[in-house]
Structure 1
Amino acid sequence: MSQKKITINDVADEAGVSVTTVSMVLSGKGRISTATAERVNQAIEALGFVRNRSAAMLRGGESGVIGLIVRDICHPFYAEMTAGLSEGLEAQGKVLFLTQSGARGQNIDRCFDSLAAQGVEGIVLGGGAENAAHLVGKAREQQIALICASRASSLDETDTIRPDNLHAAKMATEYLIRRGHHCIAWLGGSGSSLTRAERIGGYCATLMQYGLPFRSEWIVECGRQQRDVAALTEQLIHQHPTITAVLCHNASVALGCYFGLQRTGRTIGKGAVDSYYGQQMALVGFGDVPEAELTDPPLTFVTSSAREIGRSAAQRLLQRMADRQGAVQSVILPPILIERGSA
């Protein structure tokens, strides 16, 4: 029979201390009393816990390991961001260790403690930072460099790399208005998403700036499943046939909306806007994916390069590791419009 693997949590329970305390003892970082350290080491010996090689290396120097916490690596934004981050770190001889905190960031503490136990030099929070304010103190206590590379939220006293969601939505909305669209709907995103809130803020502000109608029923919340998005798009257009353009929260929503608009009989593209049911529809999404060029017409997007955000995060983390007392920086990357045929 295989023996149960002893974890850092088991050691913490045995010693009667927190997982954070065990992590500090393992890495040799932080301020731990001799008595507490001895109690933790006794628990390690009693349970037969195998010390992590990276944590042991850290006592003699740098581990070369960087941690990343994201909610879901399958999300296109974070997949691209991870690629850019890895490129930037590997060029400097660092290795990226990836963890996922869950759809709501519910496992973020477990991820942090696991990375700390690995002896990481730094951690990049790639999402869910609104639930992570307490990690700033934990990282400082354990002498782990911490930065935030997120689509929306940021942490006080922490370096942040992020896209300009408000400006991106203003850019997309104004682009449609200048092409003659006055009835513009919003599709996608969760009501709890800070990214969505920032984008909708830019969308509404631009409508008001141009004196155009804002109607709450034109703003539809939904997930990323394209079949569901397509059905919601059909319903939206049938109920509100005056809509001539749709802004989509992300690339998956934009693709689902594309199929839904086709089912309504509308023509997607740059043609003139008219007042009849068979009118031309414009479609703009946020984020961009390679599949956007496979539709007919190809989809127009407003995007801040997720890969570039990852590269910038790598650069900033390396700077923070070299200068722990330097001024906190907030880097906001501007959006760009990728104009194709759908708007």
Structure 2
Amino acid sequence: MAVAKKITINDVALAAGVSVSTVSLVLSGKGRISSATGQRVNDAVEQLGFVRNRQASALRGGQSGVIGLIVRDLTSPFYAELTAGLTEALEAQGRMVFLLHGGREADQLLQRLDMLLTQGVDGVIVAGASGVSNELCERAAEKGVPLVFASRASYLDEADTLRPDNMQAAQMLTEHLIRRGHQRIAWLGGQSSSLTRAERVGGYCATLIKYGLPFHSEWVVECGSSQKQAAEAISTLLRASPTISAVICYNDVIAMGAWFGLIRAGRQSGDGGVETFFGHQVALGAFADVSENALDDLPIVWATTPAREMGYTLADRIMQRIEKSDVQAGHQIVSARLVTVK
């Protein structure tokens, strides 16, 4: 008698037209999955007769069922959200995440990787590894362990990497303000040493040039991620250049501080046309690493690249590398979305 083919989670994903991580999230009841997608997955499960076996999945092929995750800075909101999404998706597939804080020194990251490799993890994800990516790749390759990077900027182009498209996000945000009639647009926040900031400022400047608008170096203001510093900085900026009608903020903390600074200066923020801004209002745009549902209810235009969703994508990627040894390293760039909160 012929033995029936065992239905796998990959079969369910194919039948439902979604990713493996999406199937896992639906089955576990985790994540923000639309009702339509959930219904497609459940229909596929019922039609195929899929029965989930977490333990068998984790132990198949002599695997440990453990994925190593090294995060360079656990205090970063971006990496915290990414870690939450990644952990959620991997645990939904019956995998355990071994989380280590990498620190900011190169030798610390290398030590953490060696520790994970010694523990026999199935794969490793490194979130933030500027300057040591080649060494990390070499050590992981020696042990035959898949390695995937998550970064905030483009310094890891030769590795298997997932990162946001910082220039596209800045171009989209700047262009939105220009189409609202703004021609005197300033930049607030970030440090000159940040590559993420450099890419965003590059997109901002390129868009101004594209539309033939003025660029003033004194309108690009550095500022630490502090609401107090941002409030003081925007007040100083507008006193020096009162005709500025829009300001793009480096992140959500800067945006909140700028909003308070405008109130203190007797101004308001909003997303109206430029005719409403002279003398009273200043439009605010900002970058965010969270989903639309988590944004503050303020009159700010956001370019958002949800880090949690990037975590879901990372889970898919590392599982592909683990399950299929012939999968080649790639470079995936995640585009931002424009969100207007009213």
Normalised to the residue count of structure 1, the TM-score between the two structures is 0.76
Deviations 1:33-61 (CA, angstroms, capped at 9, x unpaired): xxxxxxxxxxxxxxxxxxxxxxxxx9x93
Report the CA distance shift for 1:284/1:105 in structure 2 as closer, same or farther (over 3 A). Answer: farther
Contact 1:300 1:340 in 2 (8 A): yes
Q: How many residues align?
A: 282
Shift of 1:338: 0.7
Aligned counterparts of 1:164 and 1:246: Cα–Cα separation in 2: 20
- What is the SS of the residue equivalent to 1:173? helix
Unmatched runs of 5 consecutive residues or more in structure 2 = 1-58
Shift of 1:156: 5.0
Shift of 1:324: 2.8
Who is 1:328 aligned against?
329
Alignment of 1:186-197 (within 5 A): 186-197=187-198
- What is the SS of the residue equivalent to 1:267? coil
Shift of 1:218: 0.9
Who is 1:90 aligned against?
91
Shift of 1:202: 0.8
Report the CA distance shift for 1:326/1:189 in structure 2 as closer, same or farther (over 3 A). Answer: same
Report the CA distance shift for 1:323/1:288 in structure 2 as closer, same or farther (over 3 A). Answer: closer
Structure 2 letter corresponding to 1:248: C
Q: Which has the larger radius of gyration?
A: 1
- What is the SS of the residue equivalent to 1:125? strand
Structure 2 letter corresponding to 1:324: S
Contact 1:248 1:286 in 2 (8 A): yes
Contact 2:78 2:289 in 1 (8 A): no
Who is 1:207 aligned against?
208
1:303 aligns with 2:297: no
1:62 aligns with 2:66: no
Unmatched runs of 5 consecutive residues or more in structure 1 = 1-57
Aligned counterparts of 2:104 and 2:217: Cα–Cα separation in 1: 26
Structure 2 letter corresponding to 1:228: Q
Report the CA distance shift for 1:227/1:77 in structure 2 as closer, same or farther (over 3 A). Answer: same
Who is 1:43 aligned against?
none
Could you tell me which of 296, 313, 316 is aligned with 1:293?
Answer: 296
Who is 2:169 aligned against?
168
Contact 2:232 2:261 in 1 (8 A): yes
- What is the SS of the residue equivalent to 1:107? helix
Contact 1:168 1:199 in 2 (8 A): yes
Who is 1:217 aligned against?
218
Who is 1:269 aligned against?
270
Contact 1:104 1:128 in 2 (8 A): no
Who is 1:284 aligned against?
285
1:75 aligns with 2:76: yes
- What is the SS of the residue equivalent to 2:318? helix
Deviations 1:59-96 (CA, angstroms, capped at 9, x unpaired): x9322111112222232211111111112211221111
Contact 2:277 2:283 in 1 (8 A): no
Structure 1 letter corresponding to 2:266: G
Structure 2 letter corresponding to 1:218: W
Contact 1:274 1:280 in 2 (8 A): no
Deviations 1:201-254 (CA, angstroms, capped at 9, x unpaired): 111110000000111111112221211121111111111212111111111111
Contact 1:270 1:280 in 2 (8 A): no
Shift of 1:178: 0.6
Shift of 1:275: 9.4
Aligned counterparts of 1:288 and 1:320: Cα–Cα separation in 2: 26
- What is the SS of the residue equivalent to 2:156? coil
Aligned counterparts of 1:248 and 1:276: Cα–Cα separation in 2: 17
Report the CA distance shift for 1:243/1:103 in structure 2 as closer, same or farther (over 3 A). Answer: farther
Who is 1:340 aligned against?
341
Aligned counterparts of 2:108 and 2:226: Cα–Cα separation in 1: 24
Deviations 1:163-205 (CA, angstroms, capped at 9, x unpaired): 1111110000000001111111111122222211111111111
Alignment of 1:93-172 (within 5 A): 93-103=94-104, 107-172=108-173
Aligned counterparts of 1:322 and 1:154: Cα–Cα separation in 2: 27
Aligned counterparts of 1:250 and 1:309: Cα–Cα separation in 2: 18
Q: Structure 1 vs Structure 2: percent identity of aligned residues?
A: 50
Aligned counterparts of 1:339 and 1:120: Cα–Cα separation in 2: 42
Shift of 1:272: 4.0
Who is 1:227 aligned against?
228
Contact 1:129 1:153 in 2 (8 A): no
Contact 1:129 1:148 in 2 (8 A): no
Shift of 1:277: 6.3
Contact 1:152 1:165 in 2 (8 A): yes
Aligned counterparts of 1:177 and 1:206: Cα–Cα separation in 2: 9
